[in-house]
Structure 1
């Protein structure tokens, strides 16, 4: 019986036990998620501009599934990802300071996010 209880506890160990970010793995995951999000926005904008149903566009399950797959590959949830960033902001900032190319990539993705966000807002009016 004790073996069964131990096996069940191991089988139902929460993802928080598996989510083991380092600054490097956090940044790589974050950049992948941001890139997928921007690509999804770009696709939604193209569909919206071609006259697609706005209701269907609000349910972008493809992008959501891709983002979830990235989190799953790290054994993390989106909430754990955001919590890591909140708890380790200085560590992440220091990592970016030492990895300028990754910072440029993040800045580029952020600019594209802002651009597509504005375009989607205008197209939805």
Structure 2
């Protein structure tokens, strides 16, 4: 009985904690600049998106940029926990502008898990994709 009471008390303590959330399935991704410059269709910025090992498949609903508009999303494949970080699948994303947009940096993203949970993720440091 004492164990049951302790378990109930612990559950209430965790439920009251503001950081205790149950949003499983949010992907953790990293970004890499690939190239940028003039193209036949305007000014093109190309970057890669790569999930980290253990990241589930999900959807990045919005990409937040400094120096540019928020961009619509894309799907992210899963990367099993046993995979080496550089072996996780990579996706190339292309952005086309009429002219050089100036400095563009990814500051975060809004992710949606397969069960519908939405979470805004802020990167620890902006990733510059167009200097």
Smaller-chain TM-score bracket = under 0.3
TM-score (normalised: structure 2): 0.25
More helix by share: 1
Structure scoring higher RCO (CA < 8 A, sep ≥ 6) equals 1
